[in-house]
Amino acid sequence: MSIRATFAKHLRTRATLVGSFVKSSDPANVELLGHAGFDFVILDAEHAAFDRADVARMAMAARAANLPLVVRVPATDGGWIATVLDAGAAGIMAPQVRDADMARALVAATRYGPNGLGFSPSTAGADYGTRGIAGHLAQAPEETVLICQIEDRTAVQNAAEIAAVDGVDALLLGPVDLTVSLGLTDPTAPEITDLCKRTIKAGVAAKTTAGLFLGNPADSQKWQSAGANLFVIGSDQAFLLGAAKAALQQFRHSS
């Protein structure tokens, strides 16, 4: 079973998984996060400057590190999704999914066949032609995940319907986006916490994985108790900045 298929199985059976964002284009960062022990990483092509070639390089590094790579796409049209899956990513994270109709369209956009993605059996995602046409058509659904981001009040209200769409593998809350969409600035505000818990409850009721970005990893137990099982903590940039600040502070305090 490929690392992509294993990740999809764990996600679909609601295993507890923890990942991190990758926001810089050095493939070594993907390998480093793999060595750190993360279950997966998310290449943030929505908010960082990644192009098609970057996605291919980062996906290659992820395969070398035996680390599932999900890509948060900047657009949910077929072009970006096709690029990501052809590169051998484990799936996509779609931002700003607001209703079940959009979720159904995304599911269709991640599938080959009539009215689906353009198909090539020679891509990295198809193991460079070694699977053959039938082999790749059979394997792709078992190793391609769709994670829908819930980032505003409308999406929270529709979370149950989104989670119930066949082919949606997980809901992931973006507490910061949710906060800003409500005209607030504190992701830990009680109103935000309540909306997050409502969304996670909807996912659990639909037997769909649900989770969120954790600004404070120490809060993981609280959210696991609420039913969450998918977590994203930090990013390569944040880890670099945090470690650099800590080392510099330690140096200056000891001088």
pLDDT value at residue 113: 85
Q: Would strands 209-214 and 91-94 be described as parallel, antiparallel, or unpaired?
A: unpaired
Vertex 82, ends 165 and 75: CA angle to 5°? 70
The CATH number given to whatever domain includes residue 74 is 3.20.20.60
In angstroms, rounded to a whole number, what is the distance separating the alpha carbons of residues 121 and 127? 8
Spatial contact of 179 and 126, defined as CB atoms under 8 Å apart: no
What is the tens place of the pLDDT at every residue in 79-109? 899 999 999 999 999 999 999 999 999 999 9
State yes or no: pLDDT of 220 exceeds 90.
yes
Average of pLDDT values for 177-183?
Answer: 96
pLDDT value at residue 1: 84
What is the tens place of the pLDDT at every residue in 22-39? 999 999 999 999 999 999
State yes or no: pLDDT of 116 exceeds 90.
no
The boundaries of the domain holding residue 78 are 3-254
What is the full DSSP assignment across 69-137? EEEE-S--SHHHHHHHHHTT-SEEEES---SHHHHHHHHHHT-BSTTSB---TTSGGGGGGTSHHHHHH
Average of pLDDT values for 26-53?
Answer: 97
pLDDT value at residue 34: 96
In angstroms, rounded to a whole number, what is the distance separating the alpha carbons of residues 135 and 103? 26
pLDDT value at residue 115: 78
pLDDT value at residue 173: 97
In angstroms, rounded to a whole number, what is the distance separating the alpha carbons of residues 81 and 108? 11
Structure-token pair, residue 129: 């032609």
- Mutual orientation of helices 78-86 and 52-64 as an angle, nearest 10°? 30
What is the tens place of the pLDDT at every residue in 55-83? 999 999 999 999 999 999 999 977 899 99
The number of CA neighbours under 13 Å toward the Cβ of 130 is 4
In angstroms, rounded to a whole number, what is the distance separating the alpha carbons of residues 178 and 92? 20
All residues at 6 or more sequence positions from 194 whose CB lies less than 8 Å from its CB, including other chains:
none
pLDDT value at residue 14: 98
State yes or no: pLDDT of 130 exceeds 80.
yes
Mean pLDDT rounded to a whole number for the chain: 96
- Residues serving a catalytic function are 47
Cα 190 → chain centroid: 25
Domain count, the chain: 1
Q: At 193, phi and psi to the nearest 5?
A: -60, -40
Average of pLDDT values for 190-201?
Answer: 97
pLDDT value at residue 3: 96
Give the model's confidence band at 255: pLDDT under 50 very low, under 70 low, under 90 confident, else very high.
confident
Percentage of the chain modeled with pLDDT above 90: 96
State yes or no: pLDDT of 114 exceeds 90.
no
What is the tens place of the pLDDT at every residue in 135-159? 999 999 999 999 999 999 999 999 9
If one counts every other C-beta atom within 10 angstroms of the C-beta of residue 113, the result is 11
pLDDT value at residue 77: 79
